[in-house]
Amino acid sequence: MSVLEELARETAGADVAIRAKAEALLPELEAGAAAADEGDRFVAENYARLRAAGLVEAGVPVELGGGGAEVAELAEMLRILAHGCGSTALAFAMHTHQVAIPAWRWRHRQVAAMEPLLRRIAAERLILLSSGGSDWIGGSGEARRVECGYRITARKVFTSGAEAGDILMTGAILEEDGERSVLHFGAPMKAPEVRIEQTWRTLGMRGTGSNDVVIEDLFVADAAVPLKRKAGEWHPLFQIIATIAFPLIYGVYLGVAESARDIAVGLARKRPPSPHALALAGRMETALRAAQIAHGAMLAEVARNDPSERSVNEVMIGRTLVGENAIRAVELAMELAGGAGFYRAAGLERRFRDVQGARYHPLQAGPQAQYAGAMALGQPVATIY
């Protein structure tokens, strides 16, 4: 059992049924991963398998019809899925965190307004999309006040799994009385005012289908806007989002690194061991263990159930450590594998490309260091993102 697995079990007690479902899907996920990657094609077949296995509703509380998995259990699910296909796991992480956040608010903050959405996810197996990569704290898009609501025009980039999505959880900026506010709402993907533009041609994670979603003059009623917040500043809801979402997302990159390690070890064992190979293997194992320990610390922070500036800092430090060490572990795996790892058939070079995505989620290296430094020196962090 890995360090991550032990920590996850200590933190929340892994759901054996969900873990078993994820493990059972690995051969099929792996089989479709290379084709999707080579053709810049969304992993639609893999998403269908996730839906059929009941993983779409895994994070919905049992009382509301779901699987009842806590964040640590969901992170374990995503880590396992990433062993088969990083793109499938990363795209699904975006849905998973959009389920885990309202589930946490319903369970730990008794926010009754979350119940209808959670029940729909379980009953209809709805896929939620996230526009966090293009929105984040600053927000994006334009909201215009009209009678009884707003008209929204926006382009949301990095919308992973867009082709499979039912509702895009997003926002837009309203300029009113000299103030800039972000309105949050769900945009139905089947609305005529919403379309997908095929822009996703990238170095790695090619199968996520993280295309642009364009919204043109979509009407959103006042009653469909559950949150209005100041643009460009942290809000308590975003402290919840950051604390819960990133241990899930970075569980994927950890799984990619673990699978790269396994491939490299398998290739290296076919050759007589040399002192150089032993050293490479040891450095790879050390980097991977660092990523596993850092990810366990992220999950431990979630388990405190106290989202705040402090929890954001701890999770984002973990995000940096997981990312850096996962990338380093895969780099060393490439060296350990030797020339055999350079061939696409081995699956290692795809994982090398996929793990590079760990660099680009917020908080990226500069803002994360500034946030941590401000926390250490007792300075405000409200506008560091």
pLDDT tens per residue, range 50-99: 999 999 999 999 999 999 999 999 999 999 999 999 999 999 999 999 99
DSSP string, 279-326: HHHHHHHHHHHHHHHHHHHHHHHHHT---SHHHHHHHHHHHHHHHHHH
Average pLDDT rounded to a whole number, residues 95-112: 98
Decide if 42 contacts 94 (C-beta within 8 A). Answer: no
CA distance 329 to 323: 10
Average pLDDT rounded to a whole number, residues 151-172: 98
Q: Tens digits of per-residue pLDDT, 214-269?
A: 999 999 999 999 999 999 999 999 999 999 999 999 999 999 999 999 999 999 99
Q: What residue ranges in 142-284 does DSSP mark as E strands?
A: 142-146, 149-159, 167-176, 179-188, 194-197, 211-221, 227-230
Nearest partner of 295 among 348, 237, 256, 240, judged by Cα: 256
CA distance 2 to 21: 19
Return the number of other C-beta atoms located less than 10 Å from residue 140's C-beta.
18
Decide if 252 contacts 323 (C-beta within 8 A). Answer: no
DSSP 73: H
Residue 79 is predicted with a pLDDT of: 98
Average pLDDT value for the chain: 95
What is the Cα Rg of the chain in Å? 21
The answer to whether the peptide bond before residue 7 is cis (omega within 30 degrees of 0) is no
Percent of the chain with pLDDT over 90: 94
Using CB atoms within 10 Å of the CB of residue 81, give its burial: 0 to 12 exposed, 13 to 18 middle, 19+ buried.
buried
Q: Is the pLDDT of residue 117 over 60?
A: yes
Q: Is the pLDDT of residue 11 over 60?
A: no
Residue 15 is predicted with a pLDDT of: 61
Return the number of other C-beta atoms located less than 10 Å from residue 286's C-beta.
13
Widest CA span of the chain, in angstroms? 75
| Pair of tokens at residue 312 | 């954001």
Q: Tens digits of per-residue pLDDT, 325-382?
A: 999 999 999 999 999 999 999 999 999 999 999 999 999 999 999 999 999 999 999 9
Residue 175 is predicted with a pLDDT of: 97
Q: What does pTM read for this prediction?
A: 0.95
Give the DSSP H or E segment for 109: none
CA distance 114 to 106: 6
Q: Is the pLDDT of residue 3 over 90?
A: no
Q: Is the pLDDT of residue 2 over 60?
A: no
